[in-house]
A and B are shown apart, each in its own frame.
Chain A
């Protein structure tokens, strides 16, 4: 039997980006807030100091900061005919664990979606005709527009100190920025990062071909910065140990760097660490949540009653918690009915690798999200009329650090070992170079999440099952984008190059991104969405899923966290300004 704890106003499940922002905003409002976090407490000085943060084996290969599959994993399969099997060690995507969540070891590539991404289905129908959209493609409009979210994007960027150059300030195009981006109400809080040699070469080549390269917006910040919560961040030192690592310089925006110092000081906030929420509890009507149940490290079960439950457990685990708690109807791909688990999507990435002539790139000098990009082939920035696919992505040169266990370029045809391999590794390390595309993944009827019939977690509860594969549309899109990227690569006159467009089947063992989206999507219609435009459950109005990428109706050609952060602020305002005044459904 769970022991019952004193009631709180708000319980937050998971203290990553979403959870920290919501906890801060609601605690500041005077509410009594508790966060329950599955993993340990983590902080810069104790967990990733520059004395040993730069350890490729520990963090990059053995994945010390990530979730252990023993604690929670998924089963995966490419289609409904296969038997799903568990991911026994994570490698295709790498969920976070512990205070700060994946915000500790992300790269920091911080984008906004395009205005036309938000009304995707209506936009495409209007421009190309409804009959052009494949019948099994279940893309839908967001229930919120870019214009509505603009000020929330702005807030997240200022919280995180994002480095970049505006391309569109209040409708005025700006030289040096992204000419395709939606309007911005203000410039980025810090100027762009410096570019390493590879990115400078890419930008030059792209410009020659008539494109408009711009610096990628980055949460590795270019200069010291004090955010609106009064917290100071340091300058990025281009250490090259960023993605998969914590930042020892307080230079990569994360919950610990940007929010927790202010949040932890609030007397009406506490966090319960190493405690896993197992269920959102409902009252006898099933229409109201009474709080959550969690289990601590000694195996003891606790019940935390609360008036508002915020599900901030990262996209995949948001979905599983909703399924395990019986909130919302599970999706059934056969009938197409039900919503929880529907419209799971991912990201379609690809790359071109090269060896450059007589170039010393020093590609260990890197950041998680620096680089020069072009956006000509993202979203609907280009005419799709005769292309046979929809969607797109950005592309460019974004080196994240040539750490030699995982990054060791050699010429084509080199054996994998022996004298020849050794010679090639020594000679090519300084001139090997990769550029990449980062593309959309639209939703389909047969790509979804549900509970696995066979495999269980350490509490004996079913694992979540992922059924996913790339569809023709995405494969064609990737081919098209990779061809464009290869043209730019060619302009660099490399000694050799290899273009690798994304091909099916989706493989859970090849790292692509941890941009898992969908499953509790937001929408205007309860028949096709789990939460409404304020990320509030249609079925249980005191449960919110405030912004984790599980609410994306499909995935667009950018990294998710800018939008995740914006939605967190958007939901916080909806709760503060509307829900608290009149608790109940907001739509």
Chain B
């Protein structure tokens, strides 16, 4: 279930940001007639809302521990920089699942649902939040049964890797859940969390961008277009600036 007690942040975002979310929350933007000039009004811009550290909004503590362990295997910490956990990938996923993405806001969800062929795309009524809930439960059950009652987070790294690649290749069958599809979703979201703007809770200290050399939310490279074979020298910035510029709470 999505925690109904913490909707405030999301509802402001949905009010400001997306038509789809508007339709979902029912707080309709008004149709309007615009004439004789540009309808500029103050306060209509819709910047993203900054995700803040704090309690989980979607995951239970158990689920969160599994996801933190998993993202740290998908993107392990090493001498190149932090792994998925310290980069905030689980926080990112948690906040995404608690928001419009989690419920598939704006998607076409009318029945009938039929499997179809690959070229027709995803055809299930289960949206990401529900898929995580079911997937994490099935994964926990599998690990418990296979590794003498243990939880995923307590397995040795090599065993965790084995479980993850078993899911990826379909070698491990989870009960009532397509393990390969669940793995693909987890991997996709982890990489989003690693490389998305830090405003969404992942890519902490721009770890993902620093790893590959992406300068982030810069907007003017005119002087650099024709400097061939020279490494762009400036460090990344995000929508909120650089992490050392912002107030620590």
Instruction: For the complex, give the distance between the alpha carbons of A274 and B30 in Å.
Output: 7
Residue contact B107 to A88, C-beta cutoff 8 Å: yes
Which single member of A264, A298, A403 contacts B31 (CB below 8 Å)? A298
Task: Please give me the residue from chain B that is nearest to A69 by CB atom.
Answer: B108
CB proximity of A205 to chain B, nearest CB, Å: 14
Contact with A along B19-40 (1 / 0, CB 8 A): 1100100001111111111111
> In the complex where A54-B218, A419-B76 touch, is A507 in contact with B38 (Cβ < 8 A)?
no
Residue contact B36 to A404, C-beta cutoff 8 Å: no
B181 at the interface (CB under 8 A from A): no
Residue contact A55 to B239, C-beta cutoff 8 Å: yes
B245 at the interface (CB under 8 A from A): no
Instruction: For the complex, give the distance between the alpha carbons of A86 and B192 in Å.
Output: 26
Which of these binds chain A: B57-65, B119-127, B132-140, B170-178? B119-127
B11 at the interface (CB under 8 A from A): no
Instruction: For the complex, give the distance between the alpha carbons of A82 and B48 in Å.
Output: 42
> In the complex where A239-B220, A417-B74, A419-B76 touch, is A46 in contact with B47 (Cβ < 8 A)?
no
CB proximity of B219 to chain A, nearest CB, Å: 4
**Which residues of B from 196 to 238 have beta carbons under 8 Å from A?**
196-197, 199-200, 208-209, 211-222, 224-232
Instruction: For the complex, give the distance between the alpha carbons of A275 and B239 in Å.
Output: 32
CB proximity of B139 to chain A, nearest CB, Å: 16
Task: Please give me the residue from chain B that is nearest to A57 by CB atom.
Answer: B196
Residue contact A270 to B34, C-beta cutoff 8 Å: yes
Residue contact B119 to A78, C-beta cutoff 8 Å: yes
CB proximity of B22 to chain A, nearest CB, Å: 8
A273 at the interface (CB under 8 A from B): yes
A451 at the interface (CB under 8 A from B): no
* B residues less than 8 Å from A68 (CB atoms): 19-20, 23, 106-107
Instruction: For the complex, give the distance between the alpha carbons of A260 and B164 in Å.
Output: 52
* A residues less than 8 Å from B156 (CB atoms): none
B80 at the interface (CB under 8 A from A): yes
Q: Please count how many residues in chain B sit with their CB below 8 Å of the partner chain's CB atoms.
A: 83
B117 at the interface (CB under 8 A from A): yes
> In the complex where A240-B221, A426-B212 touch, is A405 in contact with B196 (Cβ < 8 A)?
yes
> In the complex where A76-B120, A86-B108, A88-B107 touch, is A52 in contact with B231 (Cβ < 8 A)?
no
A interface SS class: loop
CB proximity of A587 to chain B, nearest CB, Å: 35
Instruction: For the complex, give the distance between the alpha carbons of A426 and B79 in Å.
Output: 12
Q: Which of A88, A297, A454 has the most chain B CB atoms inside 10 A of its CB?
A: A88
> In the complex where A68-B20, A89-B122, A261-B38 touch, is A426 in contact with B211 (Cβ < 8 A)?
yes
Which single member of B17, B78, B221 contacts A237 (CB below 8 Å)? B221
CB proximity of A529 to chain B, nearest CB, Å: 29
A70 at the interface (CB under 8 A from B): yes
A416 at the interface (CB under 8 A from B): yes
* B residues less than 8 Å from A70 (CB atoms): 20, 23, 105-109
* A residues less than 8 Å from B152 (CB atoms): none
Q: How large is the interface on A (under 10, 10 to 19, 20 to 34, 35 or more residues)?
A: 35 or more
Task: Please give me the residue from chain B that is nearest to A272 by CB atom.
Answer: B33
Task: Please give me the residue from chain B that is nearest to A260 by CB atom.
Answer: B38
**Which residues of A from 357 to 372 have beta carbons under 8 Å from B?**
359-360, 362, 364-365
Residue contact A264 to B229, C-beta cutoff 8 Å: no
Instruction: For the complex, give the distance between the alpha carbons of A46 and B17 in Å.
Output: 11
Residue contact A85 to B110, C-beta cutoff 8 Å: no
Q: Which of A49, A422, A507 has the most chain B CB atoms inside 10 A of its CB?
A: A422
Instruction: For the complex, give the distance between the alpha carbons of A408 and B107 in Å.
Output: 27
Residue contact A56 to B36, C-beta cutoff 8 Å: no
Q: Which of A45, A98, A248 has the most chain B CB atoms inside 10 A of its CB?
A: A45
Which of these binds chain B: A165-173, A190-198, A328-336, A488-496? A190-198
Which single member of B80, B197, B226 contacts A56 (CB below 8 Å)? B197
Given contacts A70-B107, A509-B118, 13 further A-B contacts (CB under 8 A): A55-B48, A58-B17, A71-B106, A86-B110, A237-B219, A264-B34, A270-B34, A274-B30, A362-B221, A365-B224, A404-B212, A417-B164, A508-B120
A-B residue pairs in contact (CB < 8 Å), sample of 10: A46-B46, A47-B46, A49-B45, A53-B219, A264-B38, A270-B35, A271-B34, A404-B195, A405-B195, A509-B121
Report, nearest first, the 6 A-B pairs whose CB atoms are least far apart. Answer: A296-B31, A270-B35, A68-B106, A69-B108, A429-B212, A57-B196
